[in-house]
Structures are given as structure tokens and as C-alpha cells.
């Protein structure tokens, strides 16, 4: 069996399962909340594993491998920090409070959280616009990763990979909404985990074991086996932070906390997400070792696809392709849900004071999902930059906008309306300007943007105090152990 024939068989089966989940989920969408957040009835296993699938996606598998190939073993630290900060600490610090506050405020989007928590429609609309613009950029990087895998492993033209992967996602998201997104994410996480373990086992065997592989990589260049290596400390640390701490402000991940069944399930969910997320180090490891096995590559993003075709059997390569596509589909689908619900509920219904029935809102979400998905596919046909560079840019702006208003909104009663909006605007603008200036001192735009956002929300909130009524604050904080402080 060739790679092409094995890939065709596996992908047909896999796509059939995804479409089936979309049809099944469509029957459960009775209300708009069912379509947008699964009626807040998602269990810890599905929540945690879909969190992993959305977080890491094809950006990690293809882009992480590309960074590993380009910068060496020092990039493994990115994966390790992803697990510790982006998963474990995020669930501990954010999870329960996000679930509690959003249920009490009756909101189901991150933009809705800002509008209600700070009594600030302008903050909700600003966040929605940032999410709309920059999550489309992020989705372009996701589609690019999937298309490269189709290109190398199935010998499809790049545009064919873009269209196949994108159109399948649009279909099942439009049909099933959030329930389809999390249940397909649950399956996709298992496919990712298995395929990455398989690739790592075969790669380490091909280089003669991990110790021998490190020696061979050192012979290529000592900078590829040291930390921070050719990247430098500023580049490594800032990128670790943007793809780890930055996820705390990424709506497609935070929404998982909205939809989990209840607060009691967070302990089990935190364990599951920590163990499962350990796969984050594997693409960087494989990408670095691929320098020993592959000829020089002009495009580092091809390292993982070419490595898999070299060290895996046709069936194994087909499984990896399914893993990459699974990872990308889960992320693309999650982003479509976030963008559509944010535009429909936070901009159209709440921002413009329009009324919709539940059925009309579901229909509007489906239409917006299709339109946003097609826009991302059209841009992905002529994509710029390395995948992780593209991702880092979009994450920098979104996280600089959302991170500190979200954290302070959960933990500081004194965070004010003016402080939150000023923090969002200052963070987004700083991240954009810093990126335009090509990262002065080698520091990522997220670091600059989030620092400015942090200072602004504290200083402005102390100057322009919160005017929210005491009963509203007490309603949110009751049960946290801080209601009387």
C-alpha cells in the first residue's frame, strides 16, 4: 500500500466520522446557548482533550517542527512551558472562576464577559473586532499547516489541501455548532497523541537512539543542541510566553471553561489536560532531529511532513497526516465558533440592540461561520510567513487585548470600565506597533503589548474608580472566599 492510497482510505473514514458527528450534534441544538456553548453540559474528558486539540493544532505539529528544524533542541522548552503555563496553570487560575462568573452573568462569549463584567459595551465590541480580524489570520496559519501535509504526503497541490480541509470543517461546524466542535476535538486529540508518539518512536530509532541523535545533531552545529541556541534568550523566552501565557486571553480556549458541566469537574480536567498536553514537546524534538536525516530545506515548515514520509510506513504516514489534519480542523472549527458567536451576539444583538429568536440566532451563526471560513480559505491560498510567525503575530494582538482585563475581571473587584477599555486599546496598539517595528531588542510584540496593558488597567482603574453596584460585585464574588474582603 502506498502513502497516497493509505491516506485516501484513512481520510475518507475520518471525514465521514466528522460529518457524522456534525449531523448528530445538530439534533441537540435546541437553543442558541446549545449551539454556542453546548448548553454548559460538557464533561471533563471532552473539555480537556478538546482544549488540547484546539491549543496545539497543526500549528504545533507543522510549525513546531519547523521551529525545531530551524533553531534546534532549545525549542523543546517552548513545549514544556506550553504544558506548565498554557495548560496546568491556566486551568488552575482561570477555570473555576470563568465558569462561575460567566454563568452568573449569563454570558457565553469572552466579549460578552467584558461588556457585562465592566458594564462596558465598548469593551465588548472592541474585543469582538480584534477577535474577528486576528483570529482569521490565525486560522490562515492553521489551514496552511494542514495543506502542507496534504501537499507532501498525498502529492496534492497546496490549493487542494486548503480546500479539502477547510470545506470539511465549515460543513460540520455549520451543522453541529459547539457540540460538534468539542466532540470532534475529543477524537482529534487522541489521533494527534497517537500519531506524534508514533513519529517520535520512529524518528528516534532512525537516528540510532536519542543520545546518538544528539551527537549527530551536534556535529551539524553545536548551536542546535544548546539552550537558547541560535535563537537567543530574548527570542526564546518571549515566544514561550506568547504561546503559553498568551493563551489565557485566547477566546477559543477560554470558552472551554464556559461550557464544562460544573466546577467539581475541574480537578479531573486539570490532570487530564496536563498529561495529554505533554505531547507538546514532541514536534520540536522531531523537528530538531530531522536535521540529521533530511537534506537542507528551504521551507522549515516541510520538516515534519518530509520526516514522516522518510521514517514511517505508508500507513504510519497516513496516520500522521490524519493527526495533522485532526489538529488543524479542531482549531479552525473552534475559531469559527468564537468569531461567529462574537459577531452575532456581541456586535449585532447586544452592540446594535437588535432582537433575534433562538432559531434566528442559530441560523445567523451558521451563515457567519460559512462566510468567515471562506475568507480564511481565500487568504490561505496565498499565505505569508512561517506558520508560527503568523500565529505569534495574531496571538500577540489578541492576547494583549484580552489577557489582563480577563484576569483582573476575575480577581480584582476594583478593575473599572475605563481601566479595562483603556487596557485593551493600549495593549492591542502596542502589540501592533511593536510588531511593525520588527520586534525591537528581539522581544515579541505580546511581551510589550501585555506589559503596557497590565500597567494601564492598574493605573487607570486606580484613577477612574469602578462604579459598579455593590450587589453586582457580591453576586459575582460570593463563594470565592473573597466576598467579604
For residues 413 and 473, the answer to whether their CB atoms sit within 8 Å is: yes
Q: Is 90 exceeded by the pLDDT of residue 115? A: yes
pLDDT of residue 481: 62
Q: Is 50 exceeded by the pLDDT of residue 312? A: yes
Instruction: Give the mean model confidence (pLDDT) for residues 117-136.
Output: 90
More confident residue, 324 or 466: 466
Of 31-40, 114-123, 366-375, the poorest mean pLDDT is in 31-40
CATH number for the domain running over 3-392 = 1.20.1730.10
Q: Is 50 exceeded by the pLDDT of residue 22? A: yes
pLDDT of residue 389: 64
% pLDDT > 70, the chain: 95
pLDDT of residue 215: 94
The most confident of the ranges 157-171, 271-285, 368-382 is 271-285
pLDDT of residue 48: 95
Q: Which of 220, 238, 219 is nearest to 228 (CA)?
A: 238
Query: How do residues 398-408 score in pLDDT, each as one tens digit?
Result: 989 999 999 99
Distance of CA 173 to the CA centre of its chain: 16
Instruction: Give the mean model confidence (pLDDT) for residues 336-351.
Output: 85
CA distance 62 to 283: 7
pLDDT band at residue 288 under the 50/70/90 scheme: very high
Q: Which three cell numbers stand for residue 162?
A: 486548503
Instruction: Give the mean model confidence (pLDDT) for residues 214-229.
Output: 89
The most confident of the ranges 89-93, 314-318, 319-323 is 89-93
Q: Give the phi and the psi of residue 42 in degrees, each rounded to 5.
A: -90, 135
What's the 3-state SS for the chain? CCHHHHHHHHHHHHHHHHHHHHHHHHCCCCCHHHHHHHHHCECHHHHHHHHHHHHHHHHHHHHHHHHHHHHCHHHHHHHHHHHHHHHHHHHHHHHHHHHHHHHHHCCCCHHHHHHHHCCCHHHHHHHHHHHHHHHHHHHHHHHHHHHHHHHHHCCCCHHHHHHHHHHHHHHHHHHHHHHHHHHHHHHHHHHHHHHHHHHHHHHHHHCCCHHHHHHHHHHHCHHHCCCCHHHCHHHHHHHHHHCCCHHHHCHHHHHHHHHECCHHHHHHHHHHHHHHHHHHHHHHHHHHHHHHHCCCCCCHHHHHHHHHHHHCCHHHHHHHHHHHHHHHHHHHHHHHHHHHHHHHHHHHHHHCCCCCCHHHHHHHHHHHHHHHHHHHHHHHCCCCCCHHHHHHHHHHHHHHHHHHHHHHHHHCCCCCHHHHHHHHHHHHHHHHHHHHCCCHHHCCHHHHHHHHHHHHHHHHHHHCCCCCCHHHHHHHHCCCCCCCC
Query: How do residues 152-200 score in pLDDT, each as one tens digit?
Result: 667 788 888 888 888 888 887 887 788 888 888 898 888 889 889 999 9
Average model confidence (pLDDT) for the chain?
86
- For residue 380, the cross-strand partners are none
- For residue 42, the cross-strand partners are 260
CA distance 378 to 396: 23
Query: How do residues 40-68 score in pLDDT, each as one tens digit?
Result: 889 999 999 999 988 887 667 888 899 89
Query: How do residues 432-483 score in pLDDT, each as one tens digit?
Result: 898 888 778 777 788 899 999 999 999 999 999 999 999 999 999 987 666 4
Provide the b/e sequence for 340-368 (b: ≥16 CB within 10 Å). Answer: bbbbbbbbbbbbeeeeeeeeebbebbbeb
Residue with cell string 473599572: 416
CA distance 339 to 134: 10
Instruction: Give the mean model confidence (pLDDT) for residues 271-300.
Output: 93
pLDDT of residue 257: 94
C-alpha distance from residue 297 to each of 292, 302, 306 (Å): 12, 8, 10
pLDDT of residue 485: 41
Q: Is 90 exceeded by the pLDDT of residue 138? A: no
Q: Which of 421, 380, 395 is nearest to 253 (CA)?
A: 395
Q: Which three cell numbers stand for residue 393?
A: 503575530
Query: How do residues 225-248 score in pLDDT, each as one tens digit?
Result: 988 877 778 778 877 887 888 889
pLDDT of residue 387: 54
Instruction: Give the mean model confidence (pLDDT) for residues 333-362.
Output: 84
Of 95-104, 249-258, 268-277, 375-384, the poorest mean pLDDT is in 375-384
Global confidence as pTM? 0.87
CA distance 285 to 277: 15
Q: Is 70 exceeded by the pLDDT of residue 210? A: yes
Query: How do residues 250-273 score in pLDDT, each as one tens digit?
Result: 888 999 999 998 888 899 999 999
For residues 95 and 270, the answer to whether their CB atoms sit within 8 Å is: yes
Q: Tell me how crowded residue 30 is: count the other CB atoms within 10 A of its CB.
A: 12
Q: Torsion angle, CA of 438/441/446/451, rounded to 10 degrees?
A: -130
More confident residue, 106 or 12: 106
More confident residue, 483 or 345: 345
More confident residue, 413 or 63: 413
Amino acid at each position: 500500500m502506498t502513502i497516497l492510497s493509505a491516506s485516501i482510505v484513512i481520510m475518507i473514514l475520518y471525514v465521514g466520522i466528522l460529518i457524522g458527528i456534525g449531523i448528530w450534534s445538530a439534533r441537540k441544538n435546541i437553543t442558541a446557548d446549545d449551539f454556542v456553548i453546548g448548553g454548559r453540559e460538557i464533561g471533563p474528558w471532552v473539555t480537556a482533550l478538546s482544549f488540547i486539540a484546539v491549543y496545539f493544532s497543526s500549528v504545533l505539529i507543522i510549525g513546531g517542527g519547523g521551529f525545531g528544524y530551524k533553531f534546534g533542541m532549545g525549542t523543546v522548552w517552548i513545549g514544556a512551558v506550553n504544558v506548565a503555563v498554557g495548560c496546568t496553570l491556566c486551568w488552575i487560575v482561570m477555570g473555576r472562576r470563568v465558569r462561575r462568573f460567566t454563568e452568573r452573568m449569563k454570558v457565553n462569549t469572552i466579549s460578552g464577559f467584558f461588556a457585562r463584567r465592566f458594564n462596558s459595551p465598548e469593551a465588548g465590541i472592541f474585543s469582538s473586532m480584534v477577535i474577528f480580524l486576528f483570529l482569521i489570520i490565525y486560522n490562515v496559519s492553521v489551514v496552511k499547516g494542514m495543506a502542507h501535509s496534504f501537499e507532501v504526503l498525498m502529492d496534492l497541490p497546496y490549493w487542494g489541501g486548503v480546500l479539502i480541509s477547510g470545506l470539511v470543517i465549515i460543513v460540520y461546524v455549520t451543522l453541529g455548532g459547539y457540540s460538534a466542535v468539542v466532540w470532534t476535538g475529543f477524537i482529534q486529540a487522541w489521533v494527534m497523541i497517537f500519531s506524534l508518539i508514533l513519529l517520535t518512536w520512529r524518528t528516534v530509532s532512525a537516528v540510532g537512539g536519542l543520545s546518538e541523535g544528539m551527537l549527530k545533531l551536534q556535529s551539524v552545529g553545536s548551536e542546535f543542541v544548546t539552550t537558547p541556541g541560535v535563537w537567543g534568550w530574548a527570542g526564546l523566552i518571549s515566544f514561550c510566553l506568547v504561546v503559553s501565557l498568551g493563551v489565557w486571553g485566547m477566546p477559543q480556549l477560554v470558552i472551554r471553561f464556559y461550557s464544562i458541566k460544573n466546577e467539581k469537574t475541574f480537578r479531573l480536567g486539570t490532570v487530564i489536560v496536563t498529561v495529554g498536553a505533554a505531547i507538546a514537546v514532541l514536534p520540536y524534538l522531531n523537528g530538531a532531529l530531522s536535521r540529521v536525516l533530511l537534506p537542507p530545506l528551504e521551507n522549515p515548515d516541510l520538516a515534519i511532513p518530509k520526516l514522516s514520509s522518510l521514517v514511517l510506513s505508508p500507513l504510519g504516514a497516513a496516520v500522521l497526516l490524519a493527526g495533522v489534519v485532526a489538529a488543524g480542523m479542531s482549531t479552525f472549527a473552534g475559531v469559527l465558533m468564537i468569531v461567529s458567536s462574537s459577531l452575532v451576539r456581541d456586535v449585532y444583538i447586544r452592540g446594535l440592540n437588535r432582537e433575534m429568536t433562538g432559531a434566528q440566532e442559530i441560523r445567523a451563526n451558521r451563515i457567519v461561520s460559512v462566510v468567515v471560513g471562506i475568507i480564511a480559505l481565500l487568504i490561505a491560498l496565498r499565505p505569508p510567513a512561517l506558520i508560527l510567525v503568523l500565529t505569534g503575530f495574531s496571538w500577540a494582538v489578541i492576547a494583549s487585548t484580552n489577557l489582563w482585563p480577563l484576569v483582573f475581571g476575575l480577581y480584582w473587584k476594583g478593575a473599572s470600565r475605563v481601566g479595562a477599555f483603556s487596557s485593551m486599546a493600549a495593549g492591542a496598539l502596542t502589540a501592533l506597533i511593536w510588531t511593525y517595528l520588527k520586534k525591537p531588542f528581539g522581544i515579541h510584540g505580546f511581551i510589550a503589548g501585555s506589559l503596557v496593558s497590565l500597567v494601564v488597567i492598574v493605573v487607570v482603574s486606580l484613577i477612574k474608580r469602578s462604579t459598579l453596584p455593590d450587589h453586582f460585585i457580591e453576586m459575582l464574588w460570593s463563594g470565592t472566599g473573597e466576598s467579604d474582603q
